[in-house]
Amino acid sequence: MITEYNKIGAFSVLLRVFKRDIRIAWRRRSDIANVFFFFIIATSLFPLGLGADPRLLHAIAPSVLWVCALLSCMLSLPRMFANDYADGTLEQLIMSNQPTLLIVLMKTLAHWVLSGLPLVLVAPLIGLQFNLSVIELQVLALSLLLGTPTLSLIGSIGGALTLGVRSGGVLIALLILPLYIPVLVFGAGAVNAVFVGMGASGGLALLGAMLALSLVFAPLAASMALKIAIE
Amino acid sequence: MKSEVTKNVLNVTDLECVRGERILFKDISLDLESGNLLYVQGANGSGKTTLLRTLCGLSQPEAGSISWNNQDIRELVEDYASQALYIGHLPGIKADLTAVENLQFSAALAGSDVSREQTIEALTQVGIAMCADLPTRVLSQGQKRRVALARLWLQSNPLWILDEPFTALDGLAIKALTKHVEAFVNTGGMVVFTSHQIPEFNPDIMQRLSLD
């Protein structure tokens, strides 16, 4: 019959949400690999297509890497909530004993670890193809480290709003691209500033501010969108 | 957990639900307490699922209110949501996780830590212990349903909301589930369910609500 079970704390529940998403993604490795290889392929095609002019490659490097990071992040957004929505586990997540807001935050964190963090780690290696110096590579990695979580957070709103919508992928792009543009401008801008000797701190500080802002508001908006979607 | 059961009450007052432009039902009032079993009847499209989802707090009613132990569920939010165990049309299990992992995660969302042995025990009760470590992707429709229903043997939520729990189950499983639900009600549980088959519950403990 029904027995009493050991209770677990709020943090433990949230940690399990995170671990569950990581585990599922690990069992569907091809999905994460797709996003990762898209980034590598897209960025590597530029040096090949543009020819071996080191000055040109150097000049476009920050923009190319940032645009590709943004696109590959967007590629994985439709999957953020859609699978949970389709198999009914989203209802369970919403009916858990934790606020939906925190559950969304955990899922977003998992999304970033799976799609954003690999890009941060591989970007310095790819930057070498573009003739970037060590300090420029460092700033590039740092700007991605601050910027990609913002992309995941803003993306969670798009993913939640387009649940159950046909051709949601295109709609997500339309919805969130305007919100991505400031991240792109200041992310690539931070690296470009190093080129002209201005120092990257301004751009990085703005990226940090955008991260803080989206950390507060994006899970709130996404959890509201989810509640509307499952009605 | 017999004597220390706290009595819970669920009150529904003048509930009205709308789908699109159509009123599904209105002026539904209910008073349920621990030890009650409510059978919601109605034709296809009469709003059974909507009513159940509204009781879960997943859908918002057009008018009326629902209260749990005399507090509006809109104020309780997750404190109420975690009291109810909802099993709907969708199985609510991840295809890439095994049956054990799925059950452990579902229990964790309700705040309880369930051991592997306990999940195997629950899966034995629903007759699919041999599938415990298979990804649920490879299970049949009925087996998936049983994995979802195994939650009823594992979680101690005081309110169960079951949407068509008997679909896709064979005769033996229907009997086991009927017995389990009856036992739960007799020990102070509260159950709301829908079914197109005529359920074999003891008519003395079963209340009916018709939406037609």
The answer to whether B58 touches A100, Cβ cutoff 8 Å, is: no
Confidence class for position A4, pLDDT limits 50, 70, 90: low
Interface check A2 vs B, CB under 8 A: yes
Amino acid identity of residue A162, one-letter, is T
pLDDT > 90? residue A23: yes
Other beta carbons within 10 Å of A179: 18
Task: Please report, for residues A131, B21, B28, B86, B167, the alpha-carbon distance to residue B89 in angstroms, rounded to integers and kept in the order given.
Answer: 56, 24, 23, 10, 9
What is the rounded end-to-end Cα distance, in angstroms, of chain B?
38
Interface check B92 vs A, CB under 8 A: yes
pLDDT > 80? residue B206: yes
The answer to whether A172 touches A148, Cβ cutoff 8 Å, is: no
- Per-residue model confidence (pLDDT) at position B2: 43
Residue matched to tokens 């995660």: B105
Q: What is the model's pTM?
A: 0.91
- Per-residue model confidence (pLDDT) at position A1: 44
Name which of B53, B59, B93 is nearest A87 (Cβ-Cβ): B93
What chain B residue is nearest to A93 in terms of C-alpha separation?
B109
Interface check B93 vs A, CB under 8 A: yes
Contact (CB<8Å) A99/B79? no
pLDDT 10s digits, A174-221: 999 999 999 999 999 999 998 888 888 999 999 999 999 999 999 999
Q: In whole angstroms, give the CA distance from residue B45 to residue A158.
A: 31
ipTM of the assembly?
Answer: 0.89
For residue A88, the SS3 value is coil
Task: Please report, for residues A11, A57, B146, the alpha-carbon distance to residue B132 in angstroms, rounded to integers and kept in the order given.
Answer: 27, 55, 11
Q: In whole angstroms, give the CA distance from residue B130 to residue B123.
A: 8
Could you tell me which residues are beta bridge partners of residue B190?
B159
* Mean predicted confidence (pLDDT) in A2-13: 79
Q: In whole angstroms, give the CA distance from residue B174 to residue A206.
A: 60
Interface check B77 vs A, CB under 8 A: yes
The answer to whether A188 touches A127, Cβ cutoff 8 Å, is: no
The answer to whether B103 touches B119, Cβ cutoff 8 Å, is: yes
Contacts of A223 (CB under 8 A, 6+ apart): A99, A100, A101, A103, A104, A160
pLDDT 10s digits, B45-55: 888 999 999 99
Report domain B7-83+158-212's class.
Answer: alpha beta
The answer to whether A65 touches A43, Cβ cutoff 8 Å, is: yes
Name which of B1, B81, B106 is nearest A94 (Cβ-Cβ): B81
- Per-residue model confidence (pLDDT) at position B3: 43
* Mean predicted confidence (pLDDT) in B60-78: 89
Q: In whole angstroms, give the CA distance from residue B127 to residue B144.
A: 12
* B35 CA: distance to closest CA in chain A (Å): 15
pLDDT > 50? residue B194: yes
Domain boundaries, chain B: 7-83+158-212, 89-157
Q: Which of B91, B68, B84 shows the shortest CA–CA distance to B156?
A: B84
Determine whether B13 is exposed, middle or buried from the number of CB atoms within 10 Å of its CB (0-12, 13-18, 19+). middle
